[in-house]
Amino acid sequence: MFNQLHASRGIKLFKERAVAALFKEYKQLDDVQILKVLYVMIESSLLLYELYVTVLKEEGFVVNSVDKCVANKIINGSQCTIAWYVDDNLLAHVDAEVVDSVINSIEKEFPGLMVQKGNELDFLGIEINLRDDGKVNVGAVKFLRKTVQELEEEIGSPLTKKYSTPAGKWLFNVDEKAKSLNEEQSDIFRKYMAKMLWATKRSRPDCETTMSFLMTRVHSPSKDDRHKLMRIMSFVKGTVNDVRTIGQMTYTICQRW
């Protein structure tokens, strides 16, 4: 949401650079048309944000001073929180009737909402499970399963090896004599590095050390780096149902694993 909240600051410079680039390739296009299209592209997200915040404020919500995509309101003595990213929202309150009431109020201004309720939610591709013991599971199981399947189809063979760790002890060793990947192979390497990075930061902290190193190799990956990627992808295939659990063991210590 950062780019959308601060889009207006860079509009003029973006227009100048984008128009110059477009005219270099399409000199026959009219500059007024180009500027109009660019203006709509940049402004639309910011306008949507401002409209949504206005609606929430009219309902009595106060936007968080640090995260501008979070708003809170005390309802019936308990805090009601709304967090959003573009048009995806997460709404929480201890009273289910309050949740329904807030949804109805928002739907008056934004009709046709798709609503998920309950302890199992899918938010921006992240699977959230609110457990009965007060802990929360955060996973990307469907995403990772699909990613592994796509990789196997792309390389033309299944990942059959099983590993108990995402990397070997030689992870940080760089083989300077290893042959560099060609452009097509490098693109595949970067593609699945990006997918794994997305999932790692959300639900797979066990892969963070491996990913932190492999991300330094995306500029010019070698066959040795590709082998390390296949290792972590094989590990993920075998542990695809693992999720991040966030919970509280005591009232003073918050733990995650």
Express each pLDDT in 88-121 by its tens digit: 888 999 999 999 999 999 988 888 888 888 888 8
Classify 86 in phi/psi space as left (phi over 0), alpha (psi -120 to 50) or beta. left
Same structural domain, 109 and 42: yes
Mean pLDDT along residues 10-22: 47
Q: Indicate the number of domains in the chain.
A: 2
- For the segment 27-37, what is each residue's pLDDT rounded down to a tens digit? 555 554 555 55
SS3 64: coil
- For the segment 230-255, what is each residue's pLDDT rounded down to a tens digit? 999 999 999 999 999 998 776 666 66
Ordered DSSP codes for 216-234: GGSSS-BHHHHHHHHHHHH
- For the segment 115-172, what is each residue's pLDDT rounded down to a tens digit? 888 888 888 789 999 898 889 999 999 999 999 999 999 999 999 999 999 999 999 9
For position 181, what pLDDT does the model report? 95
Q: Say which residue, 176 or 32, is predicted with more confidence.
A: 176
For position 119, what pLDDT does the model report? 86
Q: At what angle do helices 141-155 and 223-238 cross, to 10 degrees?
A: 140
Same structural domain, 110 and 149: no
- Does position 82 have pLDDT exceeding 60, yes or no? yes
Same structural domain, 113 and 49: yes
For position 56, what pLDDT does the model report? 94
Q: Which two tokens stand for residue 231?
A: 């290792």
Average pLDDT taken over every residue of the chain: 84
Write phi, then psi, for 195 (nearest 5 degrees). Answer: -65, -45
Same structural domain, 54 and 163: no
| DSSP state at residue 139 | E
Same structural domain, 32 and 91: yes
Please report whether residue 11 resides in a domain. Answer: yes
Same structural domain, 159 and 84: no
Cα 248 from Cα 257, distance rounded (Å)? 11
Please report whether residue 130 resides in a domain. Answer: no
Q: At what angle do helices 141-155 and 183-203 cross, to 10 degrees?
A: 170
SS3 130: strand
Please report whether residue 98 resides in a domain. Answer: yes
Cα 126 from Cα 118, distance rounded (Å)? 15
- Does position 12 have pLDDT exceeding 50, yes or no? no
Q: Which residues pair with 88 in a beta bridge?
A: 85
Same structural domain, 86 and 163: no
Same structural domain, 66 and 21: yes
Please report whether residue 136 resides in a domain. Answer: no
Show the domain range for 12: 1-117
For position 207, what pLDDT does the model report? 96
Same structural domain, 157 and 54: no
Helix, strand, coil distribution of the chain in percent, nearest 5:
50, 15, 30
For position 193, what pLDDT does the model report? 96
- Does position 19 have pLDDT exceeding 80, yes or no? no
Cα 146 from Cα 150, distance rounded (Å)? 6
Q: Say which residue, 112 or 226, is predicted with more confidence.
A: 226
Yes or no: say if 79 and 93 are a contact pair by the CB < 8 Å rule: yes
Mean pLDDT along residues 13-36: 50
Residues 6 or more apart whose Cβ sits within 8 Å of residue 192: 147, 151, 229, 233
- Does position 182 have pLDDT exceeding 50, yes or no? yes
Yes or no: say if 246 and 257 are a contact pair by the CB < 8 Å rule: no
Same structural domain, 112 and 5: yes
Same structural domain, 18 and 78: yes
Least confident of 11-25, 102-116, 141-155, 184-198: 11-25
Yes or no: say if 77 and 71 are a contact pair by the CB < 8 Å rule: no
Same structural domain, 113 and 206: no
Domain-ending residue, one of 54, 85, 117: 117
Q: Judging by beta carbons within 10 Å of its beta carbon (0-12, 13-18, 19+), is residue 53 exposed, middle or buried?
A: middle
Cα 189 from Cα 208, distance rounded (Å)? 17
